[in-house]
């Protein structure tokens, strides 16, 4: 935080500008800074909670208009496309298919 303030990278504010609005970086100013941080984090959690609630409400409203699928409808299996031009190749001649996976998958 000190390095960011020292270079003026927080919306153009330098450490002196931030000090004028109550944000200090000295050791004796850490309790006040911690209070500000706790307040900002609490406001951020509330904003996220309200956003998640609004997203869920809009999803429920959007899906309520969709006609439900009948229970007796059988699921449809979609097979991968097998568009091969040479049908006379043996499995040994076909190049392996590489698939990228996320780490830990």
Domain range for residue 49?
A: 2-68
Residue 11 covered by a domain: yes
Instruction: Tell me if 61 is assigned to some domain.
Output: yes
Return the pLDDT at 49: 92
Residue-wise pLDDT tens digits, 4-45: 777 777 778 888 888 888 888 888 888 888 898 899 999 999
8-state DSSP, 33: H
The reply to whether 37 falls in a domain is: yes
Q: How many domains does the chain have?
A: 1
User: Can you tell me the distance from the alpha carbon of 6 to that of 26, in angstroms, rounded to the nearest whole number?
Assistant: 13
Report if residue 74 sits inside a domain: no
Taking 3-state DSSP, the helix, strand and coil percentages for the chain, each rounded to the nearest 5, stand at 50, 0, 50
> What is the pLDDT, as a whole number, of residue 47?
93
């Amino acid at each position: 935080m000190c390095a960011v303030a020292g270079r003026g990278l927080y919306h153009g504010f330098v450490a002196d500008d931030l000090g004028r609005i109550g944000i200090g970086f000295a050791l004796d100013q850490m309790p006040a800074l911690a209070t500000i941080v706790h307040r900002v984090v609490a406001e951020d959690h509330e904003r996220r909670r309200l956003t998640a609630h609004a997203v869920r409400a809009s999803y429920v409203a959007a899906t309520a208009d969709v006609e439900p699928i009948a229970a007796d409808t059988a699921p449809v299996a979609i097979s991968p496309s097998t568009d091969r031009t040479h049908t006379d190749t043996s499995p040994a001649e076909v190049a392996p298919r590489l698939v990228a996976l996320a780490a830990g998958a």
